[in-house]
Structure 1
Amino acid sequence: MTESVLTKSPIFAMSADIYISATPREVYSVVSDLPRSGEWSPETMGGEWVSGEPAEVGSVFRGENLRSEDVVAWAPLVRGTWYTEARVIAAEPGRTFRWAMLTHAGENQNSVWGFDMTPSGSGCVLTHHFRMDTPTEGIHKIVSGMDEAEKQRFFDEWGEKLRGDLDVTLQRIKKVIEGR
């Protein structure tokens, strides 16, 4: 018997890097301003802080998202506009900023996005990362009617999409910060 993709951990663990001609603190001030995320995210259009002090550990951000019909088109994904909430779990100016996606009950899920800044020359390397240790509520819903082969296909294609999103996000952040 083959192990289910749903029992593997982590389900996703990926990162991408880019050099930015700005100090780690300058980069941090941009990437920790989640309401601006529509300027660089392929799916998040922006949003607002709904509790806590903006960008501080424990604060909650409500994001507005938009997904087109062609993203993993065969899978039963949420399409159009939808909303998510995330809690900041790490906020160290000039070093790291991370947030965990929340369940409908407001609990942290094992689905964490973040940015790390590492000084390099006259600027810094910005690392964007994503890790999902166990399936989220949304993942369970998406794959609930799939057999194991379809689940594997979904995770392969979703992983490819996420890796592309990390790269696109970094390229867009670089343009925002460097003004090119």
Structure 2
Amino acid sequence: MTTENGVAPLFEICAESHVARTPEFVYSVVSDLPRSHQWSEECTGGEWIHGAPGAVGSVFRGHNFRRAEVVAWAPVVRGSWTTTSEVTTAEPGHRFSWAMRTHDGRTQDSVWGFTLLPADGGTRLTHHFRMGTATEGIRGITAEMDDDRKTKFFDEWRAKVQADMAATVERLRKVIETS
């Protein structure tokens, strides 16, 4: 898929699961970002720091942890760190998404989210991630890499994110269905 300027996004990844609950109920869980530690591979929790929780324009500070072996050869953040993100879409029962922010608070072309569709008496839950252009963090990681190393990094990072998202939707399904 290409953007309006004809350039393919750096990452466009999704993972799906069927959840045996209504889209409205699923939305109430996925839009509660402080609970994301219950299903996320890296987010260990967080808090709303600006705006009404889950509303468009609200800002969330996420607390994260990454294991040392993740793309071990590359200079990625390991251990604990925080991020901020801004809610960009909040359509109860349908869609919820947020864009990562730079250190100085600007939204980046890096959007995570969920789309919910009624399906088979429950919900088809799609977790999606799109990074149109490299974020502040990715630019820092790849700044000193030659083209071959960048290609290797992006291939490994894409595989890591895809695996994380598949694990996330499966844990999320279990959390929602047992709630």
Q: Give the shorter-chain TM-score range.
A: over 0.9
Paired residues in the alignment total 173
Matched, 1:47 2:46: yes
Ranges in structure 1 where 5+ consecutive residues have no aligned partner? 1-7
Q: Which amino acid aligns with 1:128?
A: H
Q: What residue in structure 2 maps to residue 161 of structure 1? A: 160
Alignment of 1:36-115 (within 5 A): 36-115=35-114
Q: Which amino acid aligns with 1:85?
A: T
What is the alpha-carbon distance in structure 1 between the residues aligned to residue 79 and residue 116 of structure 2? 32
Calculate the TM-score normalised by the size of structure 2: 0.95
> 2:15 is matched by which residue type in structure 1?
A
Matched, 1:177 2:176: yes
Normalised TM-score (structure 1) = 0.94
CA distance in structure 1 between the partners assigned to 2:136 and 2:8 by the alignment: 16
Q: Which residue of 2 aligns with 1:31?
A: 30
Identity of matched residues, %: 54
Q: Deviations over 1:93-140 (max 9, x none)?
A: 000000000011111100000000000121010000000000000001
Across the aligned residues of Structure 1 and Structure 2, the Cα RMSD in angstroms comes to 1.0
Q: What secondary structure is seen at the aligned counterpart in 2 of 1:73?
A: coil
Measure, in 1, the Cα distance between the counterparts of 2:95 and 2:121. Answer: 19
- 3-state SS, counterpart of residue 71 of structure 2: coil
Q: What is the match of residue 141 of structure 1?
A: 140
Q: 1: CA distance between counterparts of 2:120 and 2:55?
A: 28
1:125 corresponds in structure 2 to: 124
Runs of 4+ in 1 over 2 A off after TM superposition: none
The 3-state SS of whatever aligns with 1:134 is coil
Report SS of the residue matched to 2:90: strand
- Structure 1 CA distance for aligned equivalents of residues 69 and 178 of structure 2: 30
What is the identity, as a one-letter code, of the residue corresponding to 1:106?
G
Deviation of the 1:14 alpha carbon: 1.0
Ranges in structure 2 where 5+ consecutive residues have no aligned partner: 1-6
- State the distance in 2 between where 1:34 and 1:168 align: 17
Q: Deviations over 1:21-65 (max 9, x none)?
A: 000000000000000000000000010000000000000000000
